[in-house]
């Protein structure tokens, strides 16, 4: 993992200060899809809304982020195509989704 990649368990909460600091310091947010895949049925809509909101804020403020698996077993591993589809479901365009997935390859 790159030194400037941030993973914050509470990223879903509205935290403008965190976003501003990350942008100022040139950090990149890691957005793991595993929590979405394993969320309970009642909590999934709220979590998805939080992801959408956070991703939207990152896009608007031009704060870089990457989408990752954070897989803990073979069933959690998703192909780049699957992650791109999830990213589009979370509100990204295909181009933005591609960029968010491909950023970790650099």
By the 8 A CB rule, do 41 and 2 touch? no
Residue 22 CA to chain centroid, in angstroms?
A: 14
Residue 42 belongs to domain spanning: 5-105
Paired with 32 in beta bridges are 68
For the ranges 4-13, 26-35, 47-56, which has the lowest average pLDDT?
Answer: 4-13
The pLDDT tens digits of the residues spanning 39-57 come to 899 988 888 888 898 899 8
Q: How far apart (Å, rounded) are the C-alpha atoms in residues 56 and 69?
A: 20
Name the strands in the sheet holding 5-6, side by side, starting at the edge strand that comes first in the sequence: 5-6, 28-32, 65-68
Q: Which residues of 52-63 are buried (b: 16+ CB within 10 A; e: fewer)?
A: eebbebbeeeeb
Tally of domains within the chain: 1
Residue 22's domain is classified under what CATH number? 3.20.20.140
| Predicted TM-score of the model (pTM) | 0.78
Closest listed residue to residue 14, CA positions, set 45, 44, 58: 58
């Amino acid at each position: 993992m790159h030194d400037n990649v941030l993973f914050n368990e509470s990223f879903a909460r509205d935290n403008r200060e965190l976003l501003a600091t990350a942008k100022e310091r040139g950090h990149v947010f890691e957005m793991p899809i595993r929590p979405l895949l394993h969320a309970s049925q009642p909590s999934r809509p709220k979590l998805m809304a939080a992801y959408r909101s956070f991703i939207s804020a990152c896009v608007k403020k031009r704060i870089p982020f990457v989408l990752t698996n954070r897989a803990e077993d073979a069933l959690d591993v998703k192909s780049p195509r699957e992650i791109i589809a999830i990213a589009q479901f979370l509100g990204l365009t295909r181009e933005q989704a591609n960029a968010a997935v491909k950023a970790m390859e650099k």
